[in-house]
Structures are given as structure tokens and as C-alpha cells.
Amino acid sequence: MEAKRIQTPLSDDVARRLRMGERVFLSGYIYTARDAAHKRMTEALRSGEGLPIDIKGQVIYYAGPAPAKPGTPIGSIGPTTSGRMDKYAPTLLDMGLKGMIGKGKRSQEVIDAIKANNAVYFGATGGAAVLLAKRVKACRVVAYGDLGPEAIYELLVEDFPLIVVIDCEGNDLYSVGPQRWSSMGHEDV
């Protein structure tokens, strides 16, 4: 199956067309945010402040970039375990976030929020941080610079390779994949 090419910001129509297990190449602007940035965003919302970025239709990559080497926009940038952001994700999805990139399973609450908001969860390959960095064309800190690699960075990516892990219907590759493998006569994973 050939990979789909998609652009940010993501529209409802694009999210609806993506299916669990599909490979995609994502281009456009995405934002990094890990635990500390998510905590700050939540605190800002609780205190009545707005978010430091407009997340409507956007994609957040759970990653903290390494420092850039001379002549490159960014250092290695591999995915962080997504479950650490599960307590924050439903609120951001309700506010218009359309996609998340990370690695690992998501809670049922996040899956329900993905379905309710016609969003998608993408998986990036862990261990391929140097290769993923080659798809980043520009990088700049846009919020919480004092957090260093945990700041919110805006990345311009071109053909960033991903897999649809959870589609907008709630189909979850981490659940379905092992079931399919098992039904083919293979040992449990």
C-alpha cells in the first residue's frame, strides 16, 4: 500500500480519510510538546489564559529535540511515550487539536476523545530520531523557552514518515494488530 501524503493543518475531511495501519508522509508545520509543556498549557487554561499556540487543526509531536549541529535546523528528534500525555490530550482535542504523534498505547479516554473530535494518533518510529530529523526543514521555539528541549517548538517538516495508529473511528493498531497476528496462527505478542 502506497503512503498517503497529507499537509497540516489537518481538516476534518483529511482525518476522516485516514485509516488505522496506513502509512503517511506529513508535511507542513507541527509543534513539539512533552510533559512539562503540557503541564504549563493546562495551568494556563486553568488560570484563564489562552494557549501559547493556536492548536485548531494542528498536530503535536511528543518529542524534545536534541541541539542542532552546525548547518542543521535540529538535532535528533525521536518520539516520546505518548501515555505520559494522556491526562492532557482530551482537553486539547476538545479545543481543536487534530493529530498527535508519539509512540505507545493510549488510554481509552484518549481514544474516546479522538473519536469524539474526529482526530488521529500517528506513530513515529522509535530509534529513528536521526533519520526523522532529516525531515525537519526549520525549527524555532514558540513557547516556554526556559524548558529547553521540553519547550514548544514549531517544526516545518517535509514528508515526515508516520503510521496511523488510531484513526478517527477509534480503531487502534496496538489492539487490532496483535489480534490479527494471533488469528494467523502466530504466537501471542
Task: Encode pLDDT of 14-72 as tens digits.
Answer: 999 999 999 999 999 999 999 999 999 999 999 999 999 999 999 999 999 999 999 99
154 DSSP β-pair partners: 31, 140
Q: Is 186 a catalytic residue?
A: no
- Residue 7, CB-side half-sphere exposure with 13 Å CA sphere: 0
From the candidates 14, 22, 33, 38, give the one annotated as an active-site residue: 38
Confidence (pLDDT) at 176: 78
The pTM assigned to this predicted structure is: 0.93
Place of cell 498536530: 59
Q: What is the dihedral of CA 163, 164, 165, 168, to 10 degrees?
A: 170
pLDDT band at 127 (very low <50, low <70, confident <90, very high): confident
- Ranges of beta strands (E only) in 40-174 are 59-61, 99-102, 120-123, 136-143, 152-166
Look up residue 11 and give its amino acid. S
Locate 160 and state its grid cell: 515526515
Confidence (pLDDT) at 137: 98
What percent of the chain is modeled with pLDDT above 90? 88
DSSP for 105-132, written as a single string: ---HHHHHHHHHTT-EEEE--TT-HHHH
Locate 105 and state its grid cell: 498505547
Number of C-beta neighbours around residue 37 at 10 A: 25
Locate 23 and state its grid cell: 502509512
The residue among 123, 98, 121, 95 whose CA lies nearest residue 108 is: 121
Domains in the chain with CATH codes: 4-183 (3.20.130.10)
